[in-house]
Chains A and B, each alone.
Chain A
Amino acid sequence: MFELTKIVYKDILRFDELTIEKGKVSILTGESGSGKTTLLKLLNHMITPDEGTVLYNGEDVKALNPVLHRRNVVMLQQMPAIFPGTVKDNLIAGLAFSEKTVPADAELEEALHTVYLKKPLETKAGGLSGGEKQRLALARVLLMDAEAYLLDEPSSALDDETADEVISSFLNKAKKKHKTVVMVTHSKRIAAHYADVNILLKEINQKKRGQSHEG
């Protein structure tokens, strides 16, 4: 689905080749500052590499409409962004931004159920805990029914048990619909459990040693 060749991005990323397969769960691991988030942002064209090409289904990402591309390749940030308003407002935010039809409340509640968030739709989203916000943001991207999901540490604010439940439930849904998932995680346990493909950034990244950047 994604083919990256001869990539250089600032002094954060430098590698020759990386392929991300369609319909698989690829788990990306690496130390902090090793460029994991940067790599995800190359895939949804939030950033453009200084050198090299990113192909999506055989097409150069640069040639695609970036806004439409991001509707197919949805990304969840590490720090979940919560918009002003209720849980429902936040659940439908992605659909509204991408001009898709908003489903009935029952479907929204099912998305909350998938991420084990038991909150009424009318709850003010600002009052949720960090872990609840993270699950709400995850339910929001799930509802968008994209072709690929880029998840940046989606369980960092959850305890191990909840993280397991939420991630496995999300990935089951995604796999059933043959979606592609690229997930960044620090958790070796999650990587071992759920990865179809493991990508170790340390092994592919050829940036100079000693350089470390958050990104």
Chain B
Amino acid sequence: MKDKIIDITLWQLLSAYLFIVILTVIVRWRGIAREKEIVIGTLRMTIQLVLAGYVLTYLFKHPHPVLTVLILALMEAFAVYNVFKRIKHELSAELRKVVAVSMIAGTLISLLLFNYVVIQFTPWYEPRYVIPIAGMIIGNAMTGVSLGVNHLVEGMEKQKDLIEAALMLGASPKAASKELVDRAFDSAILPTINSMVGMGIVFLPGMMTGQILSGISPVTAIEYQIAIMLGIAGSVAFSVIIFAQYGYRTFFNERAQLK
């Protein structure tokens, strides 16, 4: 058994769906109308992962720079779309642009640093590395930016009077929104910091668990996990700071008036 992973048979895998059956029974018993979402969620997760499995198998067998770049572009596009979907407020076209640019710029900077300074693999487009690392970096930046956008937009709505008062007292738009921008940044990076605090004690992260299960030594798995956590923190920080620095400006016009 040592260093050898147990191959899960189809029946074993199907038995894991028992958890969803239990979940469905619980929500029905409690009268919480969520059965539809649970079924859709489970189906989507299954189909998406099966498809991803086939796509990844193909990509790993036929590595090509164009394919890797294409997958990266798809991931970025999906992440940006997901941020828009997660925001409860209506976003202006200008703010949407800032979200897209900050997500793409922030994650690409981190990805370049992580892949070619920290891990240093060749060729540069090796999908076995680029795709899972990009997935983690882009996914976490997406969560961070969503939180930041929500905080900023909500703050701009709720604290409009305070911001207007600051402008009337001679504040520049930057000074008038500084506190709000700082809080949006803080709220966006806090979950990443908290997850670093609990890591290894409260929970073992998915990537590390996966590597350990597939037979890699825990020490190597931990090295990767530490590196990726730092990369994630960096990408969240880059994306959110770019968003915060440009996002607040979309609420003012060139005459320093609130739109």
Contact = CB atoms under 8 A, between A and B. Distances in A.
Interface in A139-157: 140-141, 144
B21 interface: no
A128 B171 CA distance: 24
A44 B171 CA distance: 13
Interface string B156-197: 000001101111111110011000000000000000000000
Given A74-B170, A75-B168, A97-B176, A81 B162 contact: yes
A47 B167 CA distance: 12
A65 to B, nearest CB: 8
Given A67-B256, A97-B175, A46 B162 contact: no
A79 interface: yes
Given A77-B161, A81-B162, A48 B168 contact: no
Interface in A57-79: 62, 66-68, 70-71, 74-77, 79
B164 A46 contact: yes
A140 B171 CA distance: 14
A134 B169 CA distance: 15
B220 interface: no
Given A81-B164, A97-B175, A97-B176, A45 B255 contact: yes
Interface string A70-113: 11001111011101000000000110011000000000000000
A44 B257 CA distance: 10
B164 A97 contact: no
A48 to B, nearest CB: 6
A144 B169 CA distance: 8
Given A46-B258, A81-B166, A97-B176, 10 more contacts: A45-B257, A47-B257, A67-B170, A67-B172, A68-B170, A70-B167, A74-B169, A74-B170, A79-B161, A97-B166
Interface of B: 161-162, 164-172, 175-176, 255-258
9 contacts: A45-B255, A48-B257, A66-B257, A67-B172, A76-B168, A81-B162, A94-B170, A97-B175, A144-B169
